Structure 1
Amino acid sequence: MIRFNALSKQYQLGHQIVPALQGVSGEIRTGEMVALCGPSGSGKSTLLNILGLLDMDYQGEIWFQNKPYPKSAKEAATLRRSQLGFVFQRFNLIPVMTAQDNVAYPLHLNGYSKQEQDSIAAEMLERVGLADFISHKPDNLSGGQQQRVAIARALVHKPALVIADEPTASLDSQNANMVIDIMKSLGHEMNTTFIVATHDSRMADRCDRSIQLLDGIIQEEVTE
């Protein structure tokens, strides 16, 4: 699915150059759910942002489905829109939109008709257990419900890869376990690859594999 080789990234803080990634390499297979783990400052969010095409200022090489990652902003936007989905800690739902419209938004960006958008979004909300909440706006949903809407939105256009940044960090145990179950079952069913940056052992323990980072270097990979 995705291979990366000798990825490096530096940040400049005043006159000081701070390395965020130091030549990391790895491979993530189709349909895997892989956790990126490590303390704050370990490089996991930087790696996640690079693999999600949210940060294109890096050194090294990445291949996605055996093709090099795009180098131009336009090509990156096209690939993100068609092949990637995103789940964030703070949900990032559009507050003025209903759950159904939030989920339908990637379909809108990919040129689906309004009828197709509504039908497919409603089906995805049913699959995450929110069929009765399609008309609710985010402020009228609990945190766990909002994250399930976000998962439905990430998967609605059947992306090859979903990038998830601390998806359970703001949830209690019951909601966190429900979100993990949904991500894992739908990801395996749809053969969608998940890359998850997390501090949460509940999340990491349920992934197929964990990649441990420290000071921008991969320390080890653990298969669950």
Structure 2
Amino acid sequence: MILFNQIQKTYQLGNQSVPALQGIDGHIQKGDMIALCGPSGSGKSTLLNILGLLDMDYQGEITLDGKAYPTERLAAAKVRRQKLGFVFQRFNLVPVMTALENVAYPLHLNGYSKQQQDELALQMLEKVGLGDFTQHRPDNLSGGQQQRVAIARALVHKPTLVIADEPTASLDSQSANVVIDIMKQLGHEMGTTFIVATHDPRMATRCDRSIALFDGRLANPASDIRGMSWAS
């Protein structure tokens, strides 16, 4: 479970303080796929950066599986490496690595043997339907296939939380639906929580629940997402 308690973030622009998050409270159950919704400037990216331990300059408390988020950078890097996974809009695969090598990389960072890396990476590629593409480099894969490799990479070390930033925005409808199905199925199967920032109703309406942000404040926490406005 992920718990939020009064998460606040303010940016300093010259002499002006600009509030980005204004007291976010809530909880997310293990294995849920959550749509993080709201118009541009609502605070979605700020919250993702905080949850991803990329920004630790905030007020409030976050706990993951009963443990408080770290406040020291080396400890944060360890939690990020072991407990978190990331999926990006533009895939962010290493272009000179094969699909297998891209997926195995988090295992390398966590000290797995080469044999374990290859075995676990292959298993994850098979789970996302790319067992026959292990030796393909990203430029030989379609956008949807690249995103599936990215999902396999995010999940291969069995993280507690995967943060996905607009994962379907660059995909056509067919590829987007495949990606959504894979994320939801594997998240539920593995007990991994997905938090997905999105403007895409294809993505949002398929998630388990939503968190809606407007001007840095929470609206309709854990709500039914049907009928929401999708202004970007």
TM range (shorter): over 0.9
Give the Cα separation in 1 of the matches to 2:122 and 2:35.
29
Instruction: Return 5+ residue gaps in structure 1 as ranges.
Output: none
Secondary structure at the counterpart of residue 131 of structure 1: coil
Give the aligned residue type for 1:52.
Answer: G
- 2:87 is matched with 87
Q: Which residue of 2 aligns with 1:139?
A: 139
Matches within 5 A, 1:23-42: 23-42=23-42
The code of the aligned residue for 2:206 comes to R
Alignment of 1:29-178 (within 5 A): 29-178=29-178
Following superposition, the deviation at residue 14 of structure 1 comes to 2.6
Alignment partners' CA distance in 1, 2:134 and 2:14 = 48
Cα deviation for residue 90 of structure 1 reads: 0.7
Aligned to 2:224: 223
For the aligned residue pairs, the C-alpha RMSD in angstroms reads 0.9
AA partner of residue 55 (structure 2): D
Counterpart in the other structure of 2:187: 187
Distance, in Å, in 2 between the alignment partners of 1:64 and 1:187 is 16
In 2: Cα distance, 1:159 partner to 1:67 partner: 15
Kindly provide the amino acid, as one letter, of the partner of residue 85 in structure 2: G
Residue 17 of structure 1: how far off its partner (Å): 1.4
Distance in 1 separating the partners of 2:119 and 2:219: 45
1:9-24 matched pairs, under 5 angstroms? 9-24=9-24
Residue range with higher mean Cα deviation, 31-40 or 5-14: 5-14
- 1:10 Cα offset (Å): 1.1
SS of corresponding position for 2:94: coil
SS of structure 2 residue aligned to 1:146: helix
